[in-house]
Amino acid sequence: MPYRNLRRPLDHVGSLLDAAALHPGRSGRNHLLWLAHAQGLAVRRVDHALDLVGLASVARRKAGGYSLGMRRRLGSAAALLGDPPIIMLDEPFNGMDPDGIIWMRRFLRSLAAQGRGGGVQQGEGVGPSPGAVCLDCSRPVPGPGRREKSTAGEVPLAGSFPSVSSRTG
């Protein structure tokens, strides 16, 4: 069935295409409430999504004051609103600080562990490889063996992503 014919598209596919696609005068929670209402989703999904991405404590702040990393998390929460089996993210690491990158890698791993499929479009230098990739929940991506440091401690890069596959499904 074509996407445009789906009654509640966010139940099928969640996406983060542009982290700036929000009204800066609305709180992060109100941004998600608006999306949930448009899709006929329960308010509890908004609070659950905010918890999943770690924004519950700042959910009532105006989204225009969020850092780019926080906006990426808010966009990720929007992608999760309908609890879809497929998540599509466009350059999810763009503009994130080292702690944000580590958070996003863990977030992607948790999605894969839940059995969700999806895709990540990532430019040069941040992800495991440039270009469009699909998440495959079966095994980790072989990494260069480096470790990255953050205030959260050291995290091995190997296995930080769900595996990358040339499949499109």
- Each residue's pLDDT tens digit, 77-110: 999 999 988 888 887 887 788 888 888 888 888 8
In terms of average pLDDT, the best of 32-41, 97-106, 107-116, 141-150 is: 32-41
- H or E segment at 79? helix 68-80
**Secondary structure (3-state) at 7:** coil
**Res 130 pLDDT > 50:** no
Ramachandran category for residue 22: left, alpha or beta (phi over 0 → left; psi -120 to 50 → alpha): beta
**Secondary structure (3-state) at 5:** helix
pLDDT at residue number 159: 40
Residue 105: C-alpha distances to residues 21, 28, 98, 100, 149 (Å): 22, 22, 11, 9, 14
Q: Please, which pLDDT band fits residue 122 given cuts at 50, 70 and 90? A: low
β partners of residue 154: 149
pTM (two decimals): 0.70
**Secondary structure (3-state) at 87:** strand
pLDDT at residue number 56: 96
Residue 169: C-alpha distances to residues 92, 116, 126, 166 (Å): 20, 11, 23, 9
Strands (E) across the chain are located at 13-16, 86-90, 117-122, 131-140, 147-150, 153-156, 162-165
**Secondary structure (3-state) at 43:** helix
Q: Which of 32, 62, 61 is nearest to 47 (CA)?
A: 32
* More confident call, 165 vs 65: 65
pLDDT at residue number 51: 95
**Res 48 pLDDT > 70:** yes
